[in-house]
Chain A
C-alpha cells in the first residue's frame, strides 16, 4: 500500500441548524484513507455516515475542521471549485435514482463528460461499459434495466472520468443477495485495478468486501 493519504480529515465537525436547536451530526472526525484502499463506513442511521459522505464527496462543507483531498485543502473552496473536483476526482454511486430517466446507458455514462473535459469520451465510456459487463445494453434506455444493471451503469459512470475516489452510498440497498454479491465482486475487481473506494453501508456482509471498516456512532469514529 502507498503511504500518502488520498483523503485526510482532521477534526471535521458538522452542525445543522434546525429551528432553535442545533444538531451536531459530526463531532470532530479524524480519518485517513490511502490511495487504493477499499474502506467501508458503517453505522446505524443517524450516526452521521451520510453527512460524512457528503463532506468527503464535496456535496457539503464542514462547519469546522480541515479536509485534504490529494494533499489539497478543500474544506473552504467555492461551490464552482467543488463542482470541478466532484467532476474530475470523485465518482458517485447512489442507492437510488442513479440514472437519468429514459436515457441510454451510453448517455448516462457520458453524463459527467458534459461538465468536464475528457478526450475520446465516447470510446472511454464504451470501454468502461464493457468492463462492467453491459456491452450488449449500450443503447438500452435506463428504464429497461434491472436494479443490478442500473448499479453497474452507475459504477461505469463513476469511473468514466478516472476519478481518485469512488464514493458508493448504500449501492446494494435495493438489490437482492445474489445481485449484491455480483456488484460487490465488481467493486472489488475495480479496487484491485487501483481505484480507491469508500463505501457506506449498514450491512456487515457488504462491509466484509472492504479492506478496512470504519464504524461511526453518534457522529464520532467508534
Chain B
C-alpha cells in the first residue's frame, strides 16, 4: 500500500515537470527505438535469407568449385558473374577454372560408391544476349541434366522436358521458365520456335510452370538447356556446380562425406584441407548466414546501445538536478515521517518510470522505423518478444543503474540540513 502511494508520488513528481520529463525520456526513446529497429531489421534479414535457404530443400547439396565456403554462388552455380566463354560458376574466382569434371559427375552417379545419392545434375552457367521486347538483354543460360528438374521440383506446362538421351546427343533444346518465355516470346506458344544462343540455334521444346521464387535464383527467369549442348556452344569443359539430391535428411551428412571422398580421390588429393571444391548443405549455408547476420545485428544494436547509454547519463543528470532542486521537499517528507528507504524508492521509481516510458515509446518508434525501412527494402522486419523484453529490461536497468546514485544522494539527506537548504 505504502509502495503504491510512493509510486503515486513519483508519477505526480514527473507530471509536475512534464517538459523536462519528456526531454529526458527522449534520449531513451531514441536509444531503445534504434535498438529495436536494428534488431527487428536484422531478424527480418535473417528470416528472409533462412526462408530462401530452406526453399533450396533440406536434402539438396551443392558441390562448388574452389576451396572453402563461398556464398556468392547460389544453389546451382547460376549467377551474374557468368560470361561468354569463361567459366561462370559461382564460388571461385574468374581467373581460376572449374575443377568439377564429367568424371566427377559419373562417379557421383555411381551407386556403388555413393548409395545415399538419389540424383545428380551437372550444371554449367553462362549468359548470352537475347532480343526481348525492350531491345537486347543479357540473360543467364543454365546447362543442366534432366535430373535438375526433379531436384528443383520444376514441372512442365507446355511441351516437354529434355531427356538423358537429348543430353547424350547434345541436342540443341531449350526449356524456358515462364518469365523467360514471356520476355523472349511475349505472347503465343514458344514451343517449336527457335532461339539463338551464342550463334547456335536452339529449339524451344518446353515451358515450365510458374513457381514461387525460392533460393537465390528465380527459376521462372531461367533458360535451361542440356549441359552437354551448352558446353559445346560456349566451349566450357567443366561444370560450374553439381546439384545433388539425397534420399533423406538423415543422409545429408554421410552423403556429404561420401561426395567429398569421391571427388578428392578423383582429383588425387589426400588432404581434405587442400580440396579444390566444396560441398554445401543448406544447413551449412544457414548456420553461416545466421552467424553473419547475428554478428551484424549484435554489432549494429551495440552501436545503438551507445545512444541508450547517453540517454541513461541524461537521466542521471536530470535526477541529480532534481534532487538538488527538491532538497527542501525531501526534508519536508522526512519530517512528516518518510524513511530513508521511502525517499530512495521514490527517486528510483521516478528514474525507472522515465526509462520505462522511454522504453515503451522507443518500442513504438523502433517498430515505426522498421516499417518505414521495410518499404525501401525487400523484407519484413521481425519483432520478437525477445527484442521487446530486452528493450523493457534494458530500459528499466538503465533507470535503476543511473537512478540509484541520485536516489541515494536524496535519501541520505539529513532532514534538518534539507529543511534549512537555501
Contact = CB atoms under 8 A, between A and B. Distances in A.
Interface of A: 54, 57, 59-60, 79-80, 83-84, 86-88, 92, 94, 97-103, 107, 111-117, 157, 161
Contacts of A79: 339-340
Contacts of A60: 416
Interface residues of B, number: 23
Given A80-B339, A83-B339, A88-B337, A114 B332 contact: no
Contacts, number: 68
A59 B337 contact: no
A61 to B, nearest CB: 11
A111 B339 contact: no
Given A59-B415, A60-B416, A101-B329, A115 B342 contact: yes
A80 B340 contact: yes
Nearest to A167: B335
B414 to A, nearest CB: 8
Given A97-B328, A97-B332, A115 B339 contact: yes
Contacts of B1: 117
B342 to A, nearest CB: 6
Interface stretch (B4-12, B124-132, B360-368): B4-12
Interface string B338-374: 1110100000000000000000000000000000000
A83 B419 contact: no
Interface of B: 1-2, 5-6, 9, 12, 16, 328-329, 331-340, 342, 415-416, 419
A83 B2 CA distance: 14
Choose among A98, A99, A100, A116 the residue with the greatest number of B CB atoms under 10 Å from its CB.
A100
Contacts of B329: 100-101
A135 B9 CA distance: 23
A185 to B, nearest CB: 24
A114 to B, nearest CB: 4
A114 B2 contact: yes
Given A83-B339, A114-B6, A157-B336, 6 more contacts: A59-B335, A60-B416, A87-B336, A100-B329, A115-B338, A115-B339
A83 B332 contact: no
Nearest to B327: A97
Nearest to B337: A87
Given A59-B415, A59-B416, A97-B419, A115 B12 contact: no
A112 B336 contact: yes
Contact of B335 (A92, A103, A113, A161): A92
A83 B416 contact: no
Given A97-B328, A114-B6, A83 B12 contact: no
B332 A98 contact: yes
B156 to A, nearest CB: 80
B115 to A, nearest CB: 80
Contacts of B5: 113-114
B335 A57 contact: yes
Can you list the 4 inter-chain pairs with the closest CB atoms, starting with the nearest? A87-B337, A115-B337, A112-B336, A114-B5
A143 B128 CA distance: 84
8 contacts: A59-B335, A60-B416, A80-B340, A84-B337, A92-B335, A94-B335, A97-B419, A112-B337
A116 B338 CA distance: 9
B328 A83 contact: no
Contacts of A59: 334-335, 415-416, 419
A113 B6 CA distance: 11
Nearest to B17: A102
Contacts of B328: 97
Given A98-B332, A112-B336, A114-B2, A103 B12 contact: yes
A114 B335 contact: no
Contacts of A112: 336-337
Contact of A115 (B331, B336, B415, B419): B336
